[in-house]
Amino acid sequence: MTRTRTTKNLADCCSDVTSIAEVVAVLSAIRDLSAEDVVRPEVDGISCFSRLYTIITRNVLDTVEGRKPKRAFKDPEFLTLLDLEFAKRYIAAVKEYEAEDGRPPRSWNVLFERRREPGIGHVNFAAAGVNAHVNYDLTFALLETWRTFPPNEDRRSDYDQVNEIFAEEMDQLREDFDAFLAEVAPDGSAVDRFGNAASDLLVRITRALAWEAAEEVWAHRDPNQADGGPAYRKAYDRMSRRLDRTAWILGWGVLTAPDLP
């Protein structure tokens, strides 16, 4: 399939990030540039996901920097590094997609190659991006972060608290991205609340599975070897192939679904 490109290269937006504020800036730039030549009612899949990702990352930044006093992380340095490692994987996928002979992961390419396909809704594009980022990228962002901040109970607690950020934003996100139940049911109705609860549960389950997959690989790590040792590398590669294939299949399903709640 011929790639749809904007007048500028998205890779120009993909600068290195060393802070969550820089992640927000890069995501915002990708969001805006990818939709620069879109005329309504057309939508762009990369822009849709980047818009959602920007909203969540800004919320994480506010929490790390203490602007959300009712919600604080026990180990903000861990969450900061995880946020950076997580974002780097999406940024790298976009850069790979824009490269002349680039080969982004299949989990991402299913979204990238169909980013301007007519008939795919905002919510489908956003969900396909979340699928690739959580069901594929998150496990490996955790593994990279654990090299500096090994897993423990406090860090798992902080990781799970990010679910609350999604929960707080869920109702507005579903409305903004034209989710089916948000459109057909009045705001705050039982049906609308069900849609919020179902989406929230899915986020919690998929993020929990990402942590468990990372633990499965981490168990093979030899701390005396910089690369984790051969057993770790083998487990890492095996998990990468498995998760990429699974997220690719799920991505196709999400993009072709007629309605998402």
Query: For residue 87, is it within any domain?
Result: yes
pLDDT of residue 185 exceeding 50: no
Q: What angle do CA 183, 188, 193 make, to 5 degrees?
A: 80
Average pLDDT value for residue range 204-217: 96
Query: For residue 41, is it within any domain?
Result: yes
ω before 41 within 30° of 0 (cis)?
Answer: yes
Digit-coded pLDDT (tens) for 117-134: 988 888 899 999 999 999
Q: What is the pLDDT of residue 184?
A: 39
Q: What is the pLDDT of residue 194?
A: 46
Query: For residue 261, is it within any domain?
Result: no
Digit-coded pLDDT (tens) for 9-51: 888 888 899 999 999 999 999 999 998 877 655 789 999 999 9
* Residue 190 burial (C-beta neighbours within 10 Å; 0-12, 13-18, 19+): exposed
Overall domain count for the chain: 1
Higher pLDDT, 88 or 189: 88
Residue 240: what residue type? Answer: S
pLDDT of residue 229 exceeding 60: yes
Query: For residue 116, is it within any domain?
Result: yes
Question: How much is the pTM?
Answer: 0.89
CB 250 within 8 A of CB 131: yes
pLDDT bin (cut points 50, 70, 90) of residue 181 is very low
**Exposure string over 153-174, b if 16+ CB within 10 A, otherwise e:** eebeebbebbbebbbebbbebb
Q: What is the pLDDT of residue 191?
A: 46
Token pair 């399939």 in the structure block, residue: 1
User: 188: left (phi > 0), else alpha (psi -120 to 50), else beta?
Assistant: left
What percent of the chain is predicted at pLDDT more than 90? 63
Q: What is the pLDDT of residue 131?
A: 94
Query: For residue 2, is it within any domain?
Result: no
Digit-coded pLDDT (tens) for 41-97: 578 999 999 999 999 999 999 988 888 766 788 999 999 999 999 999 999 999 999
Helix ranges restricted to H, the chain: 20-34, 45-64, 76-98, 106-112, 122-132, 138-146, 153-176, 180-184, 190-218, 230-256
| Six-digit token string for 123 | 């919510």
Q: What is the pLDDT of residue 118?
A: 87
Query: For residue 1, is it within any domain?
Result: no
Instruction: Tell me the longest C-alpha to C-alpha distance in the chain.
Output: 58
Average pLDDT value for residue range 167-178: 67
Average pLDDT value for residue range 217-246: 97
Q: Which domain holds residue 43?
A: 10-256
Query: For residue 3, is it within any domain?
Result: no
Query: For residue 4, is it within any domain?
Result: no
HSE toward the beta carbon, residue 115, CA cutoff 13 A: 24
Average pLDDT value over all residues in the chain:
86
Q: What is the pLDDT of residue 98?
A: 92
